[in-house]
Amino acid sequence: LIHALSMLSRSVGRLVPRLGSALRQAPGSAGLNTALRAAVTGYSRSMAQVAEPLVRTTGSLSNDYEFEHDDKIADGDPSKRAYTYFVLGGARFVFASFGRLAVLKLVHSMNASADVLALASTEVDISGIAEGTMLTLKWRGKPVFIKHRTASEIKAAEDQNPAELRHPQSDSERVQKPSHLIVLGVCTHLGCVPLGNQGDFAGGFFCPCHGSHYDTSGRIRKGPAPLNLELPPYKFIEEQKVFIG
């Protein structure tokens, strides 16, 4: 490159004297044209001499360098596989994250709200229920009967032979404490609400809609109802406090 620039400088230096000599030999406008043509022709020849070694030198340098350092310079990957794999992997990770978030949102939306969960269970103080009377409360939109049974009602329920019933169940299967019966106040015939301490069985339940009679243990004894009154899930958390739900 330095050699080529040196030759270029010398060619420019030769152009100026040639132009002056041509002007002296051919004065006037015609002489000027002749002088310019001669100077340009000489300059073109000089540039051709400069360009030839420059191209040859540059080309040979590049080829020699690549040949000598072929083991040190790795060829590029025209397909850019590494970049493609990185982008695809990142996109899949992002899509998987959004998919997981969408599923979690969907599952969370199907869960019961806080107000519904609050109604799913309730605590009841049964100390104020007098013997022979009944407390009616609402649980999950349904009435619940809590009956404080008398000694005679307990004896009548326990003496009944389950094998003689339409829906055989002993009294011990239906109560956790003999003194208290807890059932859903929904007739198993068509879903009506029976009346407490009514019917043909003392201390039992009577549904006036279609004439179903239940005994003091909530077992069907007469009428169209096919099953006993349903028992809600409950437990005694204290001697006089029950948890329903």
Q: Which residues are tagged catalytic?
A: 210
For residue 201, give the nearest of 181, 225, 218, 189 by alpha carbon. 218
CA–CA gap between residue 231 and residue 145 (Å, rounded):
10
Cβ-Cβ contacts under 8 Å for 52 (sequence gap 6 or more)? none
Q: In the chain, helix, strand, coil percent, each to 5? A: 50, 20, 35
CA–CA gap between residue 126 and residue 147 (Å, rounded):
10
Q: Within 13 Å of residue 213, how many CA atoms lie on the same side as its CB? A: 11
| Helix, coil or strand: residue 173 | helix
For residue 194, give the nearest of 174, 217, 218 by alpha carbon. 218
